[in-house]
Structure 1
Amino acid sequence: MSPALSVVPSLLALALVAHPVAAQVEDVDELDPIVITAARTAQTADEALASVTVVDRAEMDRRQSHTMTDVMRGLPGVDISTNGGLGHNTNIYLRGARPDHTLLLIDGVRIGSASSGFLPWASIPLGLVERVEVVRGPSSSLYGSEAIGGVVQVFTRSGEVGPLRPRLLIGAGSDNRINTQFGVSGGTDTDFGTGWFDAGLGFEQTQGFNVCDGTPDGGGCGVYEFDDDGYRNGNGSLRAGWAFSDRLEIDLNFLRSEGDLEYDGSAFYGNEKRQVLQVLGTRLTAKPLDPWTLTLSAGRSWDDSEIFANGEFINRLDNRRDQLSWQNDIAFAPGQLATIGIDYLRDELSTPTDYDETSRETTGVFGQYLGRLLGQDLQLSLRHDDNEQYGGKTTGDARWGIALENGLRLTAAYGTAFKAPTFNDLYYPGFGNPDLEPETSWSAELGLSGRHVWGEWALNAYQTEVDELIAFDAATYSPMNIDQARIRGLELWATADLSGWLLDGNLTLLDPRNDSEGPNDGNLLPRRAQQTVRLDADRRFGQIDVGATVFVSGRRFDDDENAVRLDGYSLVDLRAAYAFSDALRIEGRIENLFDEDYETAAYFNQPGRTLFLALRYEP
């Protein structure tokens, strides 16, 4: 760890996006994208007091990203571990917090398994995605449980007024990989209002490779199946909306992703999983009065899976999350906005496994002030969640910012957050502990940023302490609130446009420590690299686009005891595209150019050098 870091101190909630996002993005400069997630209301990125990264469709296409792993890898404060290649389990550590300490939303709808807390990153079809917002830091004061490390919100494609616009991508690559995407969008303006829609379909598959280094005696990752582990996925989405007037608007979003994954397993654990991710949401936005915006939303997400061993059914687990939300944004004075609202969430699971309980309900009440006083920016939020299992939990957040000379801005923040125990923690037969309390945290952050003619940059230092972490207790042979963690981090990123080159770079330094009493006290938390660096460079030469990405990750440990070390690694990707016209181009990408052999989880192989070619049509 760098010495410098050691001194650094049924039915939708939360749905706040759809057509208004698309409409407002067009009204701001490219350097000032609209951010929804940081404050549950629209603001430009330079106004947001939270540390935010926005990856839009143009950037995904320029970098030829095809998976959520492509988008997330190397973002400030983000680390990733995967159990193989395309479609395999993926965990994201946001600011060093555990994977289930990140809240994941799709078009405002809460996603993830209520039984295990697992987030289905690999099931999100990137071809249907318009933009991704990553908010770093505690956000429970606006969103409730799970937002200790931050929030990631995925926005699917949305249409706009105009003629029908088709899009098509046909691609193939290494490991017999195929990826096809088709979509169409459009909209109309009539005497009765304005309508828009976007519909998309996609399919991808790969033969894969052997993801697990097992041995005949069960060593390595515990199994021995020396075969390729393939993946297939079919997906589709629909977003549509209608604005009856400037004061009344309604929209609908639906996404379905169905995948079939092969993995190295056993007759007991299975070696094939069929997983279905579905998201359905609707939202009504009204302005009863000029200063008052009322948003009513409802949604449901499904995370269903079936496990097979050599074609024989073993088990199934179906998770369903129903959400309702009522939000009021009141601009009571120029530059002053108050937000108050209520969220309702019901988690329910269905499985042959005999859980002690299979459903629970949570109601959250929240309020926020967002404004400017005496030349200083403030964001103050408070929330109380009431859950029928663990009772009440109150969280708060305070953010402050001030503009300095020469385009500089100083920010500071303090917030608390929590994570509710999962159904497995509470109710799994023979294992669960219904007396568990939520995991809690506090975080403090100090930031300095700059905006200049050549680009912009930001430096953020933070510390997070997490208490009441749930861990297995050998004395009681059940999960208990016995662990603690202390995480310190430093994030530096910059973007620039120099001599026609689009440059983007960031550095993350992380010191994630076990702070619990016992033999692991002071050890590094597993599967988090202490240093990561990413550099991107892209340029256009007439009809030709070229680009490269360099990603460097430091060492990490795979276990709490810090006995299994995973070495650091470096990846180099190259990309190029040729535009036959404004609408048609051919593109190619080489990943892991030097065929680096590395692991982000012990014994699980990662893709070697791969090539992917695609023909893209999008007028």
Structure 2
Amino acid sequence: MKKVLLNLAVLLLVNLLGFNVMAEETKVSFTLDEIVVTASKYEEKLSEAPVSIEVIDEEEIKQKNAKNTADLLRDIAGIDVNDYGGVVGSKNISIRGSSSKQVLILIDGVKMNNHQNGVFDLGQVSIEQIERIEVVRGAASALYGANAVGGVVNIITKSGSQEPETITNVGYGSFGSQTYDLIHRGKDERLGYNVSFSKRESDGHRENSELAQENIFTKFNYDLNNYSDLLLSLQYIDSDKGSPGSEVYPSSTAYQDDETMNLNVQWDRKTEDNDSKLAFYYNDQERIYENPDYNSYSKHQVDKIGVDFNQTLYYDYNKISYGGELVRENVESTDIKDGEQDSLNKALFIQDEWAITNPLKIIVSGRYDDHEGYEAEFSPRLGTVYTINSKLNLHASLGEAYRAPTFDELYGSYPGSSWSWYGNPDLDPETSKNYEVGMKYLDKRTKVELNLFKRDVEEMINGNYFDEDKGYSTAVNIDSAEISGIEVILVKYLTKKISTDLNYTYLDARDKKTDKRLASRDYHNLNLGLNYNTEEISGSLNGRLIAGRAEELPSYFVVDAKLNKKIKDSIEVSLEFNNLLDREYEVVNAYPMPERNYMLKISTKF
């Protein structure tokens, strides 16, 4: 542990001192003028957002040691990845101490959370088709409704390129892991296209942890005229994998088959004084689980169809955005009462951004959701941004948010001889009050961000409450929690080729009634990185320290490394090392993470 602390101290000193060697040659610079869309549902400068936002662009994605989207988010401040180990273990995230069910996942603005269990497995999404990711830290129910208590992750996929190009990726690594990608994209007059096929195979690092996954992705953009365009995307994912279970309850024969299909049609229109967007989407997820050892079988199919509209009006001193959403959800499951349940949600929202003076803006927003399964919810938010100068701004916000009960929590049915569990159709949504203040400083070589946050959660759902009168376990609204913390983010370019980054999150999450810490919420999360980037060679070295863990789990420090080398203009080789120090550790209790492993990839473009 002393060696770990010494290494951390050295890296921290490098970050703080900055080593301004060759600073005059630095060409890369940060800017508050970077455009983001997720925080307000329309394009705005990063400096105008009333909440903390992290953006991962295509260049950063290339540098990161990532096999899936969860890996891309792992070293972001305020985020914890709940990783159940290896390629087959599900991967979902927590933001600022939220549960995974309280984080809303979007792909191109479309909600992806599975409404049977409330989460989305980020291990399914291939990184090859991601153009950028925008992470909103903090409650966003005022615009997005349910399940945005902790924040929002919007995965924005790649469109067609101006020049036609074909890309191939072939990779081989530890545990018999193999990856194959074939991508073709381009643009023909008004029509842009992106078509790809990806395949993943692995024997896994544990017994019964094999994976075979195929991913087909297509995206077409058609320019209707100078002001509007039409988007059509279709994605199909098929994953066959073993299900090894935990070390406490291992399973040597259980397996799982997941199929996901997403259809997204969007119409966008942008003029000087208003923007309009209309989206139609359909999502179908099917899961089959079988465990011959226990004669267990279950099948679940969740489908969702929705229409989403929003419009933004631009005036001299304010922007007004409004819209609505209509979503029908249906679940057919062997573990649901009567085998099938459905629901309808209708929603309206409005937001007004008002420039009171040149440096000061006030943002007021609210959303009303009317759901068949529980009482209607109104989610307001008030935010403010004060721009001191082109390098520094301050922001603050307060608002309310909620998390909807899942179909399992409402209608689940698990009868048994010695133990039974049934859902509770009378559940209310979890609600929260959220507070945040923060500052951002950016100049040509340095980015500094500091955020303080607090969340009070009421009507938390206890999913395993034993009802003595009924004689079975169920879900009830009895818990409450107080979550507070601080985030410190520092990124610095030491030279035009070398940059370092550091972020630290302190989190204190407690049950209000017992004052006990909430499970799976660690006190300290520290990420350190060193990056090197030229036209021919790029690389990264990243360390992650998790300490002060809940449930008395041991702390851990893990280091990953990646090196990219261009052989020719059209050929690139990359070598990735994960868990470089070969640590034995667990992110989730009783689910061991892989030992030291590698992946070698060769990419061609023509």
Q: Which residue of 2 aligns with 1:167?
A: 167
CA contact (8 A) 1:198 1:238 kept: yes
Q: Which residue of 1 aligns with 2:178?
A: 178
- Displacement of 1:269 in angstroms is 11
Report how many aligned residue pairs link the two structures: 559
- Displacement of 1:473 in angstroms is 2.5
- Which residue of the other structure, out of 212, 218, 224, is the alignment partner of 1:244? 224
Q: Deviations over 1:269-321 (max 9, x none)?
A: 9710001122111011235x752322111101122101122598822101111
Q: Deviations over 1:458-494 (max 9, x none)?
A: 1000100110001032235321100001100101112
- Which residue of the other structure, out of 429, 434, 439, is the alignment partner of 1:438? 429
- Separation in structure 1 between the aligned mates of residue 277 and residue 574 of structure 2, nearest angstrom: 41
- Separation in structure 2 between the aligned mates of residue 468 and residue 172 of structure 1, nearest angstrom: 48
> Is 2:239 the counterpart of 1:259?
yes
- Separation in structure 2 between the aligned mates of residue 268 and residue 407 of structure 1, nearest angstrom: 55
> Is 2:104 the counterpart of 1:103?
yes
- Displacement of 1:582 in angstroms is 2.8
Q: Which residue of 2 aligns with 1:220?
A: none
Pick closer, same or farther for the CA change 1:60–1:290 going to 2, 3 Å.
closer
Pick closer, same or farther for the CA change 1:358–1:491 going to 2, 3 Å.
same
Q: Deviations over 1:361-386 (max 9, x none)?
A: 00010001124221202221111000
Pick closer, same or farther for the CA change 1:510–1:310 going to 2, 3 Å.
same
Q: Which residue of 2 aligns with 1:366?
A: 349
Q: What amino acid does structure 2 have at the position aligned with 1:478?
A: T
CA contact (8 A) 1:270 1:314 kept: no
- Separation in structure 1 between the aligned mates of residue 519 and residue 59 of structure 2, nearest angstrom: 34
Q: Which residue of 1 aligns with 2:599?
A: 612
Q: Deviations over 1:5-54 (max 9, x none)?
A: xxxxxxxxxxxxxxxxxxxxxxx987754211110111132332221111
Q: Which residue of 2 aligns with 1:553?
A: 546
Q: Which residue of 2 aligns with 1:599?
A: 586
Pick closer, same or farther for the CA change 1:260–1:549 going to 2, 3 Å.
same
Moved more, 98-107 or 295-304: 295-304
- Separation in structure 1 between the aligned mates of residue 536 and residue 58 of structure 2, nearest angstrom: 20
Q: Percent identity?
A: 23
Q: How does 1:489-508 map to 2 (within 5 A)?
A: 489-499=485-495, 500-508=497-505
- Separation in structure 1 between the aligned mates of residue 605 and residue 480 of structure 2, nearest angstrom: 50
Q: How does 1:7-26 map to 2 (within 5 A)?
A: none
Q: Which residue of 1 aligns with 2:54?
A: 53
Q: Which residue of 2 aligns with 1:302?
A: 284
Q: How does 1:207-218 map to 2 (within 5 A)?
A: 207-210=203-206
> Is 2:586 the counterpart of 1:590?
no
> Is 2:147 the counterpart of 1:146?
yes
> Is 2:465 the counterpart of 1:473?
yes
> Is 2:483 the counterpart of 1:487?
yes
Q: What amino acid does structure 2 have at the position aligned with 1:239?
A: K
> Is 2:176 the counterpart of 1:233?
no
Q: Which residue of 2 aligns with 1:69?
A: 70
CA contact (8 A) 1:107 1:253 kept: no
CA contact (8 A) 1:141 1:381 kept: yes
- Separation in structure 1 between the aligned mates of residue 348 and residue 444 of structure 2, nearest angstrom: 42
Pick closer, same or farther for the CA change 1:33–1:169 going to 2, 3 Å.
farther
Q: How does 1:110-509 map to 2 (within 5 A)?
A: 110-160=111-161, 162-189=162-189, 194-210=190-206, 227-265=207-245, 271-286=254-269, 290-310=272-292, 314-331=297-314, 333-356=315-338, 358-375=341-358, 376-404=360-388, 407-429=391-413, 431-471=422-462, 472-475=464-467, 477-499=473-495, 500-509=497-506
CA contact (8 A) 1:272 1:310 kept: no
Pick closer, same or farther for the CA change 1:268–1:510 going to 2, 3 Å.
closer
- Displacement of 1:449 in angstroms is 1.4
- Separation in structure 2 between the aligned mates of residue 232 and residue 577 of structure 1, nearest angstrom: 26
SS of the equivalent of 1:617 reads strand
- Displacement of 1:201 in angstroms is 0.9
SS of the equivalent of 1:511 reads strand
- Separation in structure 2 between the aligned mates of residue 455 and residue 339 of structure 1, nearest angstrom: 33
- Separation in structure 2 between the aligned mates of residue 351 and residue 267 of structure 1, nearest angstrom: 24
- Displacement of 1:205 in angstroms is 1.1
Q: What amino acid does structure 2 have at the position aligned with 1:262?
A: G
- Displacement of 1:545 in angstroms is 2.3
Q: What amino acid does structure 1 have at the position aligned with 2:377?
A: K
SS of the equivalent of 2:47 reads coil
Pick closer, same or farther for the CA change 1:586–1:318 going to 2, 3 Å.
same
- Separation in structure 2 between the aligned mates of residue 107 and residue 609 of structure 1, nearest angstrom: 34
Q: What amino acid does structure 1 have at the position aligned with 2:39?
A: A
Pick closer, same or farther for the CA change 1:197–1:108 going to 2, 3 Å.
same
Q: Which residue of 1 aligns with 2:559?
A: 572
Q: What amino acid does structure 2 have at the position aligned with 1:172?
A: Y
Q: What amino acid does structure 2 have at the position aligned with 1:264?
A: P
- Separation in structure 1 between the aligned mates of residue 112 and residue 54 of structure 2, nearest angstrom: 20
Q: Which residue of 2 aligns with 1:16?
A: none
SS of the equivalent of 1:421 reads coil
- Separation in structure 2 between the aligned mates of residue 575 and residue 125 of structure 1, nearest angstrom: 18
CA contact (8 A) 1:436 1:481 kept: yes
CA contact (8 A) 1:88 1:261 kept: no
Q: Deviations over 1:381-415 (max 9, x none)?
A: 11100011213110011110112258221111101
- Separation in structure 2 between the aligned mates of residue 467 and residue 126 of structure 1, nearest angstrom: 36
Q: What amino acid does structure 1 have at the position aligned with 2:224?
A: F
- Separation in structure 1 between the aligned mates of residue 251 and residue 167 of structure 2, nearest angstrom: 44
Pick closer, same or farther for the CA change 1:269–1:425 going to 2, 3 Å.
farther
- Separation in structure 1 between the aligned mates of residue 510 and residue 253 of structure 2, nearest angstrom: 34
Q: What amino acid does structure 2 have at the position aligned with 1:72?
A: L
Moved more, 306-315 or 494-503: 306-315
Q: How does 1:505-544 map to 2 (within 5 A)?
A: 505-515=502-512, 517=513, 521-540=514-533, 543-544=536-537
CA contact (8 A) 2:529 2:543 kept: yes
CA contact (8 A) 2:32 2:442 kept: no
Q: TM-score, normalised by structure 1?
A: 0.86
After superposing on structure 2, the runs of 4+ consecutive aligned residues of structure 1 that deviate more than 6 Å are: 28-31, 266-270
- Separation in structure 2 between the aligned mates of residue 603 and residue 56 of structure 1, nearest angstrom: 34
CA contact (8 A) 2:571 2:602 kept: yes
The structure with the largest helix share of the pair is 2
CA contact (8 A) 1:87 1:123 kept: no
Q: What amino acid does structure 1 have at the position aligned with 2:169?
A: L
Q: What amino acid does structure 1 have at the position aligned with 2:183?
A: G
- Separation in structure 2 between the aligned mates of residue 97 and residue 75 of structure 1, nearest angstrom: 15
CA contact (8 A) 1:66 1:127 kept: no
Moved more, 440-449 or 350-359: 350-359
Q: What amino acid does structure 2 have at the position aligned with 1:329?
A: T
- Separation in structure 2 between the aligned mates of residue 352 and residue 269 of structure 1, nearest angstrom: 23
Q: Which residue of 2 aligns with 1:13?
A: none
CA contact (8 A) 2:47 2:393 kept: no
- Separation in structure 2 between the aligned mates of residue 31 and residue 77 of structure 1, nearest angstrom: 21
